[in-house]
């Protein structure tokens, strides 16, 4: 596994006409089999976003269709499912939140950063907030425009 993918990178792959579809797809095309780690929190975020009318508008998916979309992603040979965090994850997660100020996205982002750190791989995201996690190998994708 080469990287951990954030939901904001995978959602454009599942959403026709998404503003970040081109840079996300450009990155996706560079991936080989078992390159991309897909964690449960990211799968849950994708399901939540795909079935949220405020995010998807008229393209909102019913739960069964959202599940099918995420399943197609899971079935792609580039994906490696990560259902268990390594034993080093908890300590790294705590290190990512200690001495930080409260923030709405802190817990999940810190958890994902610790997952990438514990697997010694890149975190791939559009979210510039991940730059705040020290010792994180980060691939920050650039939005078009």
What does the pLDDT look like over 65-80, one tens digit per residue?
999 999 999 999 999 9
Q: 90 falls in which pLDDT band (50, 70, 90)?
A: very high
Residues 27-32: contacts with CB under 8 Å, at least 24 apart: 27/124, 27/139, 27/141, 28/78, 31/2, 31/3, 31/78, 32/2, 32/78
- Is pLDDT larger for residue 145 or for residue 106? 106
Residue-level pLDDT at 77? 98
Answer yes or no: is pLDDT of 97 > 90. Answer: yes
Residue-level pLDDT at 145? 72
Global confidence as pTM: 0.95
Q: 104 falls in which pLDDT band (50, 70, 90)?
A: confident
Nearest to residue 28, comparing CAs of 14, 41, 16, 39? 14
Question: Quick check: 37 and 3 in contact, CB under 8 A?
Answer: yes
How does the average pLDDT of the chain come out, rounded? Answer: 96
CATH architecture designation of domain 3-140? 3-Layer(aba) Sandwich (3.40)
In sequence order, what are the beta bridge partners of 124? Answer: 5, 139
């Amino acid at each position: 596994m080469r990287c951990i993918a954030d939901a904001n990178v995978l959602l454009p792959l599942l959403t026709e006409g998404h503003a970040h579809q081109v840079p996300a797809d450009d990155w996706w095309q560079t991936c080989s089999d078992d390159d991309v780690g897909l964690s449960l929190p990211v799968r849950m975020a994708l399901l939540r976003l795909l079935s949220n009318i405020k995010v998807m508008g008229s393209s909102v998916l019913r739960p069964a269709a959202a599940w099918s979309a995420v399943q197609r992603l899971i079935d792609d040979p580039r994906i490696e499912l990560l259902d268990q965090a390594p034993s080093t994850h908890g300590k790294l997660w705590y290190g990512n939140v200690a001495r930080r100020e409260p923030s709405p996205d802190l817990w999940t982002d810190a958890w994902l950063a610790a997952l990438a750190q514990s697997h010694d791989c890149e975190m791939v995201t559009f979210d510039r907030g991940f730059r705040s996690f020290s010792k994180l190998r980060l691939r920050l994708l650039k939005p078009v425009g």
